[in-house]
Amino acid sequence: MNLTQEDWIEQLEADSNAVILDVRTEDEYNDGIIASALNIDIHQGPAFISAIEALDKSKNYYVYCRSGARSAKACEIMNELGFENAYNLLGGILAWNGEIVAPD
């Protein structure tokens, strides 16, 4: 499901079962992330699918990339794999008005 920046943040902040998922490359991830984001690069093909399949399907996933295109595709893939709650950040991190932090 695609959410505007405002809706994504509002829903995320109210969600005690949330996981933030960054589907950009490792280099992009290292440039700065939305706090506590987990990185799984969608360009890794089968490795991406394996990593997604290993995630807890009972969680709610807030997915982003650079502009929103890769994360939209990631949400589609997650839905196909049985994830009911995958939310795409429209506009990606480029449109993000919140804090961007260095990964741990």
Tell me what the mean pLDDT of segment 2-16 comes to: 97
- Per-residue confidence band for 104, with pLDDT thresholds at 50, 70 and 90: confident
How much is the pTM?
A: 0.97
Residue 22 has phi, psi (to 5 degrees) of: -100, 120
User: Could you report the per-residue pLDDT of 28-69, keeping only the tens digit for each?
Assistant: 999 999 999 999 999 999 999 999 999 999 999 999 999 999
Cβ neighbour number for residue 18 with a 10 Å cutoff:
17
- Average pLDDT score, the chain: 97
pLDDT, tens digit (0-9, with 9 covering 90-100), for 23-35: 999 999 999 999 9
What are the structure tokens assigned to 38, written together? 């987990």
* Cα 9 from Cα 16, distance rounded (Å): 13
Domains and CATH numbers, the chain: 2-94 (3.40.250.10)
Residues carrying an active site annotation: 65
